[in-house]
Amino acid sequence: INPVKDFSKSLYQIPKGLASMERIDKILNAESTITDPINPKPIHLNEKIEYKDIWSKYRENWVIKGVNLEILKGKTVALVGQSGSGKSTFVDLLPRFYDAIKGSITIDGVDIRDAKVYDVRSLMVIVNQEAILFNDSFYNNIAFGVEKTTPKEVAEAARISNAYASIIASDDGFN
């Protein structure tokens, strides 16, 4: 009777899998509203990032209203506030996950909408609020998404994130 039970359980999983596949396909096939300009400007971070009179909504509610902020290169900035107050939205505007409704964000005076999305995003590293690790080595998890990285760069990234000592102390190190 156990094989029959297992068979009926697996039949139940097929519709669940198909529903998940449909949701994933919807995301993968979604068209992005964020596009590159026809004549993109080069962009580099040498001095500062500036948010100028930024306004943004979440559904019908304004979560960011007329915010101005200047972040000098090399400085650390903390955003503090209640859940739902717009902190993540404010940060997500910089890599252009979506654009502000009003205002502009500039990097060394260049509006990020005037540069290629790839060029803007290549200036930053994004650390998600929830950690996502792949069933792979420390090295490959750190190097994920970075083309032509070196062991020295991976080790430096581990040092910056305060993970180097733990990685080296593990049985296989970065492997």
Query: Sorting pLDDT into bands at 50, 70 and 90, what band is 116?
Result: very high
Q: Find the mean pLDDT for residues 93-117.
A: 95
User: Which one, of 115, 96, 94, 95, lies nearest residue 51 by Cα?
Assistant: 94
User: Which one, of 122, 113, 119, lies nearest residue 38 by Cα?
Assistant: 113
- Mean pLDDT rounded to a whole number for the chain: 90
Query: Sorting pLDDT into bands at 50, 70 and 90, what band is 65?
Result: very high
Q: Is 74 left (phi over 0), alpha (psi -120 to 50) or beta?
A: left
Q: What span, in angstroms and rounded, lies between the C-alpha atoms of 96 and 56?
A: 13
| Residue 81 contacts residue 33 (beta carbons within 8 Å) | no
- Separation in Å, CA 20 to CA 14, 26, 31, 167: 10, 10, 19, 35
0.75 surpassed by pTM = no
pLDDT of 67 above 80 = yes
Q: What span, in angstroms and rounded, lies between the C-alpha atoms of 52 and 103?
A: 6
pLDDT tens digits, 16-30? 888 889 989 988 888
Q: What is the model's pLDDT at position 107? A: 97
